Each structure stands twice: as C-alpha cells, then as structure tokens.
Amino acid sequence: MLETMRSAAGTWVAKLLLLLLVVSFAVWGISGSMLGGVGGDKVVTAGGTSVSGVEYRLAYDRQVNVMSQQFGQRLTREQATALGIDNQVASQLVAGAVLDEQARKLGLGLSKDSLAQLTWDDPAFQNASGQFDRQAFEYILRQIGMRPEDYLKNRAQVAVRQQIVEAISDGMKAPDTFLRAVALYRGEDRTIDYLPLPKSLVEPIAAPADDVLKAWFEENKKNYAAPEYRKLSYVKLEPEDIMDLGSITDEQVRQDYDKNKSHFTTAETRKIDQLVFPSADAAKAASDAIKAGTAFDKIVADQGKTAADVALGTLSKDTIADKAVAEAAFALQASQVSDVVQGSFGPVLVRVSEIAPEAVKSLDEVKDQIRKDLALAEANRILLDVHDSYEDARAGGESMRATADKLKLKVVTIEAIDRAGQLPDGTVVNTLPDSRNLIQALFEAEAAIENPPLNIGTNGFVFYEVDGITPARDRALDEVREKVVADWTAAEATKRLRDKATELEKRLKDGAAMDVIAGELKLEKQTKRGLKREADDADFGREGAAAMFAMGEGGTGVIAAPAGDAQILFKVVEVFEPAGADASAVPEDAQKTFASGMSDDLLDQLVAQLQGEYKATIDQAAIARAIAVTPQ
C-alpha cells in the first residue's frame, strides 16, 4: 500500500496527475457533473480530513487504467473487484488522508510564492520556449473538468505531504553494522563432506504383488488417464505443394541461365598487399630497389611494418575501395609488384601474390536449381487461385479428399492425436504444419465440419477437419501395467534409498565418521570447498546448497541429488567468514535497496500510528456508490 503512496508523494508532479485524469475521463466518460451525485459522500475520514466519493472514483479509475495496461485488456468491474483494486485504492487514500491531517495539525503549508513557482515550473504548462503558458494551463484543466483553484489546492497538498515524507526518509541510509552483517552473510563459504548414495544400494527391487500394484495404481490413477484424442485430416497448401517441375521446359531453363548468368559467376579475386609510403620519393626509391632485386617483404620490414600491416585481403576488383589500387592490382601478374601508384592515402606499391580466376558454373551444374526456382515462382503466382478453387469446391459440397485429389494436393490423416501433439503410443508428432496453432484450432473445432484455413509461413494455408473425437477416460490397470510397474519400481527405489539415507544420517549425527560409512558401502567420500550461499551448485543444486547453509558447523543432513537419481548424505565440516567484510563490500545498488526498504518501513509505521491517532475510517457503502456511478 505505502510503496505506491510513497512513490506518489515523491514523484507525483502535476503533469502525471493531469495525464492520469485525462485517461480516466476518456476511458470512463465521467465528468465532474456526472459524479456530482457522490461528491457529498465521505469515503475516507481521518480526523478533520476527508476524501470525497469523486476523489475516490478518480483514483479508482486511474488504478484500473494502470492494471488494464499491464493485462493488455480493459478490466471489467468484476475483474477489478476480484483483484482488490477497490480496497487498494481505499488504503492508498487513507495513507494520504492521515498525512494530510498530520500536516494540518502541524500547521505545515506552502506559501503562495512557492505554489506559484511549482506551477510555473511544471512542464505540463510550458510552451515551446520553456516558459509558463497561462492559456495552456487553463486549456489542460478545462479538458479534464478541473478548476484552477482545485488544481492549486491539490498541488499544495502533494507538496505538503512531501515535507512529511522527506522528514522521515530523506537521506536514509542502512547502518554500517547492518551492511557488515549482510556482507558477512553473503560472503560466507563452507566446506562440505558428502557421500552420494546411488540407487544401486537398494536395487534390485522385486516385482510388486498384485494387491500392492493395484493399490498404488488407484492412488495414482489420474497419471495414467487417457487424454482426449482427435482424428485429424489436413491439406497443406504452400508453393512447394503445387509446384510442377515438369511444366518447366529445358528452353525456359536455358533462357533463365543466359539471362542471369552473373548469378552463377564467381568474380576473379586476388590476394593483395599494399605498402603506403610517406612521400613519392620514398615510394620511388623502394620501387627502384625492388626492380633491382630487393624482395618486397624486405622493403616492408625496412619500413617497420609486418605482413599483417600491409595485407589488403583477397578481394574482387569491385570490392576494393581505392579505384587506383584496384586498377593497378588487376593489371599485375601473380607475384608481381606494381610501379608507384597514387592511392587515396598517399603513394603506394601494390603486390599480387595469388590469383583466383573468374569461375562460371555450367548450365548442367545449375539446371535443377533453376528449374525448381522457376516452378516455385509459378506456384507462388497461382497459389491464391488454387486456394480459391479449393474453397469453391468445398462450398459446392465436395469433400476434402475429393477436392484435394482434383487439385493434386495431399490429404494427411492422423488417426489420434492429443493436445500435446502425441499419439496414443506417446510418440510426438513433429511434422504438423504450424503445429502449435493447428493443434489449438483442432481442439477448438467441432467434428465433421469445414473450418476456416490457417495461415502458415509467408503465403501458405492449411485446411483441416476433425474426423472424430475420442473422449478422455481412465485407463484400466491392464492397459498400462508395464508402465505402472516401472513407475512403482522407480518410486519404491527412491523411497527405500531415502529411508536408507535417513538411517545413515542418524549414524552420522550420533558420531559415526563419514569415512567409516563410506568404507562400509564401498563408496568414496567427497569434499566440496568454497561453497557459497545461494549458489546454484552443480552437485547440490540451489535447494541443496540452501539446506547446507540452514545449519551450523557440524550439522548433517540428506538432500536429493539435482539429477534425481541419488541421495546425498552431507556434513558441514567448516564455516568461513569472509576476511575484511565491511559495509563497502555490499554493492551500491543493494545499499540503496536496503535504504529504500527501511524508509518504506518507517513510513508504514508512521501511517499506521496516524491511522490510530486520527481514527481513520472507510465507508464501504460510499465506495460502492462511487464505483456504481456510470456515464449519463
């Protein structure tokens, strides 16, 4: 309750108030005159301060708007009541009322100059130049049906409440002693001796007697119930389903190949090095040296550079940004160095070390892909025509199968599928188009009727029908005996292992050494050092680690292994406090959270005390009348 009220008191500037009121009136269509019938009601009373039905209704509407946005739909009156919004708003108004009454008792107030300055500084009433605009002030208030004097009264009220809130919580910090305790708590680590107890300690488990199995089956019968199954038939219509490779002639393939030959061509590439010089003279000297027999790599080294520094990459001509360099590089032979080139970054020498010539895929290499692409393009063009033909045929009374056969489409039938997409044998069907939506639609449809198609992919459809429904039912033991026996055996093994672990833990608690118990069981004791509180440990899991921090040094216990196939017997061997733990070890954001929580607690206590002191009361009948008002 007070978290919302405190936030409002700390940040509830007039702009937010006005915007929320505008939303309230716009959604509910309520004006001051429409609420006039409840204006005389006092919904909340605290000493000499009261909250009217109008104020309650406006606050109620604002809260409904906020919650509606969170849920993504407009809340009905019944839903708002179920969420307790009416009581939440009443509690918030009580908190505000007792603070107002306290301010009145203390004689707190706001000077006219201060109130004028607050209004003057409110961005809601400023023009494009950032100056207070009286016309904007009057227009906005007029839009929500609020008089200027009412706004100023409310603005002063909020500012006075803020004085009380800041007097309590402003500058609040969590004490260093508290923060040190947090640092010690969070930084503590432990050494754990533990013994994983495998199920092999209690296996094999003898087959259960019939009466035992029957009793266990009856207790867990719902786990073996057969779900509702539905028989599904569907026809998928996507370009791939209607493309006709045979309709594409060899001549069409050849023409497309000739037209788009560049698509099947890989441009010539060259591995290029580029050495930039500070001056044309330096570049000319290096070029002359290379022509005289000096290696290009030696010139690179003399310039204080490495091979990586001069490597331009393996590039095609059109991908080289510097056109002068591109022309020079593609005029060279392999392992040849250019004359001095005036590049974008100065004079350069260009070397080509490798050449990969242009490659063109032959027609034979790509004809199958071209044929498929052409057939898909044609299928895309006629897909909607096929869709319309299907719909027309069904509208004319033809069956799904007859229509599909006529249009050369495939009907797929699944004899029985449940809501999880499983067959009766437990196999998951993973071949359904848009499986999630199709199954949902399947279980919302009626049997033996035509349904609107579902859209799939970018331009596809799936037509479906429910051919039959098998209702959910309880299975008999004989139908699932094999699974029931397996489940009972697994559960019995877990129970017996847990019982054995409990016996061993009692021995450990009574003084038996972990090493002795491990030796008897021919198992190896293990030790975990540096286990941290709240760790999601790979061996123990988060819950297991929490159990190990729930006891002191020397404590013992048993936890289930995270994988569920073992029990873990453990003992807390050592507890280590972090060295040098102090308040600074707690992150700043955590310190702020603690301080905020303490401030909220103080404010809660103040409001609770003031409610008793001023005999704050809530008139539920007045609330009902305020909520019941509807637009005229």
Torsion from C-alpha of 278, 282, 288, 292, nearest 10 degrees: -100
> Mean of the pLDDT values across residues 302-308?
93
Kindly state the tokens that stand for 97.
């009322």
In this structure, of 114-123, 228-237, 338-347, 420-429, the range with the lowest mean pLDDT score is: 114-123
The residue with greater pLDDT, 77 or 371, is 371
How large is the average pLDDT for residues 180-205? Answer: 91
Mapping DSSP onto H, E and C, the string for 282-308 reads HHHHHHHHHHCCCCHHHHHHHCCCCHH
- Of the two residues 85 and 467, the one the predictor is more confident about is 467
Q: Residue 193: in which H helix or E strand, if any?
A: strand 189-198
The first and second tokens of residue 283, run together, are 């570049």
Task: Answer whether residue 619 shows pLDDT above 50.
Answer: yes
Segment 592-598 mean pLDDT: 80
pLDDT band at 195 (very low <50, low <70, confident <90, very high): very high
More confident residue, 435 or 76: 435
Given the DSSP bridges, would you call strands 265-266 and 566-576 parallel, antiparallel or unpaired?
A: unpaired
pLDDT more than 90, % of the chain:
60
Q: How confident is the model at residue 65 (pLDDT cuts 50, 70, 90)?
A: confident
| Residues 51 and 97 sit within 8 Å (Cβ to Cβ) | yes
Where b means 16+ CB within 10 Å and e means fewer, 480-516 reads: beeebbebbbeebbbeebeebbeebbebbeeeeebee
* pLDDT in the model for residue 123: 76
Distance CA 365, CA 353 (A): 30
Per cent of the chain over pLDDT 70 is 91
- pLDDT higher than 60, residue 340: yes
Asked whether the predicted pLDDT for residue 36 surpasses 70, the reply is: no
To the nearest whole number, what is the mean pLDDT of the chain?
Answer: 86
Mean pLDDT of 265-290: 95
Is the predicted pLDDT of residue 447 greater than 70, yes or no? yes
Q: Is the pLDDT of residue 613 over 90?
A: no
pLDDT of residue 236: 97
Q: Is the pLDDT of residue 192 over 80?
A: yes
**What is the pLDDT confidence band of residue 19, given thresholds at 50, 70 and 90?**
very low
- The residue written with tokens 């909250």 in the block is 51
CB distance 208 to 216 below 8 Å: yes
Comparing 455 with 49, the larger pLDDT belongs to 455
Most confident of 98-102, 121-125, 552-556: 552-556
- Please report the pLDDT score of residue 629 as a whole number: 62
Confidence of residue 206 (pLDDT cuts 50, 70, 90): very high
Which pLDDT tens digit goes with each residue over 135-190?
877 777 776 566 777 777 777 777 777 777 777 666 678 887 888 878 788 889 99
> Which amino acid, 533?
R
CA contacts within 13 A on the Cβ side of 592: 3
Phi/psi for 54 (5° steps) reads -60, -50
Q: What is the pLDDT of residues 500-536, one digit of tens each?
A: 999 999 999 999 999 999 999 999 999 999 999 888 9
Of residues 130 and 11, more confidence is placed in 130
pLDDT of residue 18: 38
Q: Assign 29 a pLDDT band (cuts: 50, 70, 90).
A: very low
Q: How does residue 2 score in pLDDT terms, banded at 50, 70 and 90?
A: very low
What integer is the mean pLDDT of 570-584? Answer: 86
Is 60 exceeded by the pLDDT of residue 37?
Answer: no
**Average of pLDDT values for 458-475?**
96
Instruction: Give the Cβ contact number of residue 455 at 10 Å.
Output: 12
- Determine the angle formed by the axes of helices 53-71 and 14-28, rounding to 10 degrees: 80
- pLDDT bin (cut points 50, 70, 90) of residue 43 is confident
Look at 625 and 103; give whichever has higher pLDDT: 625
CA distance 543 to 198: 19
Q: What is the pLDDT of residue 92?
A: 83
How many CA atoms lie within 13 Å of 219's alpha carbon, on the beta-carbon side? 9
Higher pLDDT pick, 91 / 439: 439
Task: Give CA–CA dist 375/238, Å, rounded.
Answer: 12
**434: alpha, beta or left? (left if phi > 0; alpha if psi -120 to 50):** left
C-beta of residue 51 within 8 angstroms of C-beta of residue 93: yes
pLDDT over threshold 90, residue 547: yes
What pLDDT, in 10s, does the model give residues 378-432? 999 999 999 999 999 999 999 999 999 999 999 999 999 999 999 999 899 999 9
Q: Which long-range contacts (CB under 8 A, 24 or more apart) does 501-510 make?
A: 501/197, 501/558, 501/567, 501/568, 501/569, 502/558, 504/195, 504/197, 504/558, 504/569, 505/556, 505/557, 505/558, 505/569, 508/556, 508/569, 508/571, 509/556
When pLDDT is averaged across residues 323-340 and rounded to a whole number, the result is 95
Q: Would you say 49 and 101 are in contact if contact means Cβ atoms under 8 Å apart?
A: yes
Predicted pLDDT at 60: 84
- Contact (Cβ atoms closer than 8 angstroms) between residue 570 and residue 557: yes
Residue 111 reports pLDDT greater than 80: no
Confidence of residue 627 (pLDDT cuts 50, 70, 90): confident
Spell out the residues 6+ positions from residue 281 whose beta carbon is closer than 8 angstroms to its own.
Answer: none
Report whether pLDDT(218) > 70.
Answer: yes
Which comes out higher in pLDDT, residue 530 or 590? 530
Q: Does the pLDDT at position 205 exceed 80? A: yes
Task: Work out the burial of residue 107: count CB atoms within 10 Å of its CB; fewer than 13 is exposed, 13-18 middle, 19 or more buried.
Answer: exposed
Tokens 């599904």 label which residue?
232
